[in-house]
């Protein structure tokens, strides 16, 4: 028996909300990056579930691109985190307020 689409969409929505709560509530920059990964994966799950629903492989192609963009984002994000840690001696997002006006 095939698992219906809405099961996947609900799992994806819950995963997205968990990731969002992580992004908003954690202060450590690395934790925020990890929570962003959860957001990417929730979106991917939706893409693949819809790809099966509509019998169209392009949803999976889009998920492939999302994975690529996530890899690029993590590379630059971690480099920025290292730079922040060198400059501020902390990874607290609240300490990095020099771009605030």
Question: Among residue numbers 38 through 97, which ones bind another protein (CB under 8 A)?
Answer: 38, 41, 44-45, 48-49, 51-58, 60-61, 63-65, 67-76, 78-83, 85-87, 90-94
CB of 100 to another protein, least distance (A): 15
Of the CA atoms within 13 Å of residue 95, those in its CB half-sphere come to 13
Is 76 or 101 the residue whose CB approaches another protein more closely? 76
Burial state string for 41-54 with b = 16 or more CB within 10 A and e = fewer than 16:
bbbbbbbbbbbeee
Q: Please report, for residues 4, 8, 82, 94, 100, the alpha-carbon distance to residue 63 in angstroms, rounded to integers and kept in the order given.
A: 20, 15, 28, 33, 34
Q: Minimum distance from CB of 101 to another protein (Å)?
A: 20
x-marked contacts with another protein along 6-45 as a string, rule CB under 8 A:
xxxxxx-xxxxxxxxxx-xxxxx-xx-xxx-xx--x--xx
- State the nearest-atom distance from the C-beta of 1 to another protein, in Å: 6
Q: How far is the CB of 52 from another protein (least distance, A)?
A: 5
**Distances, alpha carbon 31 to alpha carbons 23, 25, 65, in Å:** 8, 10, 23
Tokens of 56: 């169209």
Interface with another protein (CB under 8 A), residue total: 74
């Amino acid at each position: 028996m095939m698992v219906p689409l809405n099961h996947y969409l609900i799992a994806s929505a819950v995963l997205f909300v968990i990731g969002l709560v992580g992004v908003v509530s954690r202060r450590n920059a690395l934790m925020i990056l990890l929570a962003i990964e959860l957001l990417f994966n929730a979106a991917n799950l939706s893409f693949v579930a819809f790809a099966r629903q509509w019998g169209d492989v392009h949803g999976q192609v889009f998920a492939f691109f999302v994975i690529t963009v996530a890899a690029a984002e993590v590379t630059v994000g971690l480099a920025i985190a290292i730079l922040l840690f060198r400059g501020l001696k902390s990874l607290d997002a609240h300490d990095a307020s020099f771009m605030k006006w």
